[in-house]
C-alpha cells in the first residue's frame, strides 16, 4: 500500500530512483568520506522534505530511492544533493580538493527513474476502459454530462 503525502492542495506518492557517479569514476567513497557523504545526503534531503526510502553509497556511485514532494523536480533534487555534498566534502577532506582541483566531485549528469505502486500498463488499461465519446491520438474526451 502506498504511503500518500499531502500538500495544501494535493495528495501524492512520488518516488524517484536517482543514481550518480564520482568524477572519473574514482573510488573515493570509502570510510569516513562515505559516512560523511551519507550524512550530508540525509541532511540535504531532510531540508527539502525528501524521505529516503533506501540508499547505498558505493565507492564510485550513489543509489537512492526517495519519496519527494510534488513541487520538487528530480533535476532540482539531484542538483541540490550533488552541489551541496560536493562542496562540503571538499571543504572537510583536503585530499579530495587536491584530486578534484576543478571543484567538481561528481561527474556531470545522473540517472533517474520514477518508481510507483501502479505500473504503466495498469494506468493505460484504466484510462482505456473509461467511457469515451471521441478519440484523438490516444487523448480522449469523456461523454459529456447532461445539462
How buried is 77 (Cβ within 10 angstroms: 0-12 exposed, 13-18 middle, 19+ buried)?
A: buried
Mean pLDDT of 81-85: 97
Distance of alpha carbon 14 from the chain centroid: 9
| Architecture of the 5-117 domain | 2-Layer Sandwich (3.30)
* 90 contacts 105 by C-beta, under 8 angstroms: yes
To the query of whether residue 126 is one of the catalytic residues in this protein, the response is yes
Nearest to 108 by CA among 24, 50, 35: 24
Does pLDDT of 56 surpass 60?
Answer: yes
Residue 58: its pLDDT value, please?
94
Does pLDDT of 140 surpass 80?
Answer: no
Q: Which three cell numbers stand for residue 134?
A: 471521441
Q: Residue 132's pLDDT band (boundaries 50, 70, 90)?
A: low
Question: Whole-angstrom Cα distance, residue 120 to residue 12?
Answer: 17
Sign of the alpha-carbon torsion through 19, 25, 27, 30: negative
Sketch the domain layout of the chain as residue ranges. 5-117
Amino acid at each position: 500500500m502506498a504511503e500518500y503525502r499531502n500538500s495544501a492542495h494535493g495528495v501524492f506518492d512520488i518516488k524517484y530512483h536517482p543514481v550518480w557517479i564520482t568524477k572519473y569514476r574514482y573510488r573515493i567513497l570509502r570510510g569516513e568520506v562515505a559516512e560523511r557523504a551519507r550524512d550530508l545526503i540525509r541532511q540535504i534531503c531532510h531540508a527539502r522534505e525528501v524521505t529516503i526510502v533506501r540508499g547505498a553509497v558505493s565507492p564510485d556511485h550513489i543509489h537512492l530511492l526517495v519519496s519527494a514532494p510534488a513541487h520538487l523536480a528530480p533535476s532540482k533534487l539531484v542538483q541540490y544533493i550533488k552541489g551541496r555534498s560536493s562542496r562540503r566534502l571538499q571543504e572537510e577532506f583536503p585530499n579530495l580538493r587536491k584530486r578534484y582541483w576543478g571543484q567538481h566531485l561528481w561527474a556531470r549528469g545522473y540517472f533517474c527513474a520514477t518508481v510507483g505502486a501502479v505500473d504503466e500498463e495498469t494506468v493505460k488499461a484504466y484510462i482505456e476502459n473509461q467511457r469515451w465519446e471521441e478519440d484523438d491520438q490516444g487523448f480522449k474526451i469523456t461523454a459529456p454530462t447532461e445539462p
